[in-house]
Amino acid sequence: MIDLHSDLNTLLKYVDKYRQYLPVSSPSVQRRMQYTYDDKPLESSSTTDEQKQWDLTPSCSLSLAESRDRAIGALIGLAVGDAVGTTLEFLPRDRAYVKDMTGGGPFRLRAGEWTDDTSMALCLAETLLEKGDADTICFRNKLLEWYQHGYNSSNGICFDIGNTTRFALEQYLTVGPGWSGNTSPETAGNASIIRQAPVSIFFRKSLSKAFYEAKKQSIATHGAAEAINSTQYLSYLLVHMINGSNKDFVFAPHVMPLQPRVMIINAGEYKQKTRDQIRSSGYVIDTLEAAMWSVWNTDNFRDAILLAANLADDADSVAATAGQIAGALYGYSGIPQEWKDKLVQHERIARMAGELFDRAPEDTFL
């Protein structure tokens, strides 16, 4: 087990032990993904079908109603986790604890109000429904409406916007649609992972398209490799869960192109970590690991969210990410009714998730 904050050179040597979870690809792709760890070729007589066909869309093992329940659970779970976690946002761990959806926190919210995580997810959902993909210009324009006018906010005001997201939108205003940036490793915040659920719901019939569109929605604000790849990893898991995969499958290692730190999360090393070894900062790797750890160590939605939220620090984002995973795993029906009743715009968010599911395009992505 290794500390995910170790330097990259140390990590590159360490993750060679997980090379069996890399798909077969060209050397140039391997270099771009930073997973050429030594000179041994990945293509060999021992190459598995999974390494060659990692992005095949899973067949749905659920009824349409059951799959739809999981899809709605993913988006409502995001918002519920956001609303529960905001109470402890920015606090040091164990300074206080949350046992319910109570509001308060640094923004003095009412119980059931949510923050930037859900606002951005709703902007993304609207973009998908209007454009049929994560159209960068449309998505950025909606984010600007939120930033400038409180569009898709729980209380009509833009608050809790991250520094990297704010910078991206300011640059978009200054430079125009051609702007791309926030590619430095230091900008690998969690904004794209906390809003991912709509993409995975809409592209539930095409794993490869969901993987691609996860990158597209990320680079609207976050172009750092780890931010993109963490979002793609979450997208992969959500598509599988919406199509019926169980917890054992979801939390097992998978074959896909991954950055070193994401690969270690994929390998499941967090399962051996104690609470004190789990970080809950706004760094995307910390957020992803904490969310996975929280869902792995519980067996129902409520406990997963409370475990995630009580890690504190970026509590709303960790709980929102855990909420996507737990919501897709246990379904909308597995989310406590009292939390759904308190959730601001609950019916609208559920309706939007259902529309994303119902309008999912067929798998024609090449």
User: Under 8 Å CB-to-CB from 215, ≥6 apart: which residues?
Assistant: 228, 231, 232
List all residues 6 or more positions away from 10 whose beta carbon is below 8 Å from its beta carbon. Answer: 2
- Give the range of the structural domain holding residue 215, as residue numbers without chain letter: 8-35+54-358
Domain membership of residue 160 (yes or no) is yes
Helix axes 64-85, 346-358, angle to 10 degrees: 140
115 is in an annotated binding site: yes
Structural domains in the chain (count) = 1
Amino acid 31: pLDDT: 54
Residue 299 belongs to some domain of the structure: yes
Confirm whether 41 is domain-assigned. no
Question: Is position 314 annotated in a ligand binding site?
Answer: yes
Find out whether 100 is annotated in a ligand binding site: no
pTM: 0.93
From CA 297, how far away is CA 291, in angstroms rounded? Answer: 10
Q: Residue 329: inside a domain, yes or no?
A: yes
* 49 in any annotated domain: no
pLDDT at 45 over 60: no
Mean local confidence (pLDDT), 172-191: 93
CATH of residue 174: 1.10.4080.10
> Is the sign of the CA dihedral 122, 313, 319, 157 positive or negative?
negative
What's the average model confidence in pLDDT over 304-332?
A: 99
Q: What pLDDT is recorded for position 53? A: 79
CB pairs under 8 A, 24+ apart, for 99-107?
Answer: 99/306, 101/338, 101/339, 101/342, 101/343, 105/316, 107/159, 107/160
Q: Is the pLDDT of residue 84 over 70?
A: yes
Q: How far is CA 212 from CA 8, 94, 236, 273, in A?
A: 25, 38, 10, 31
45 belongs to a structural domain: no
CA 269 – CA 260 distance, rounded (Å): 13
Asked whether residue 146 is domain-assigned, the answer is yes
* CA 40/CA 17 separation, integer angstroms: 12
| pLDDT of 44 | 44
Is 135 flagged in the annotation as binding? no
The two tokens of residue 300 are 């129902």
Other beta carbons less than 10 A from residue 95's beta carbon:
9
276 is in an annotated binding site: no
Per-residue pLDDT, 24? 76
Residue 290 within a domain: yes
Average pLDDT over residues 85-107: 97
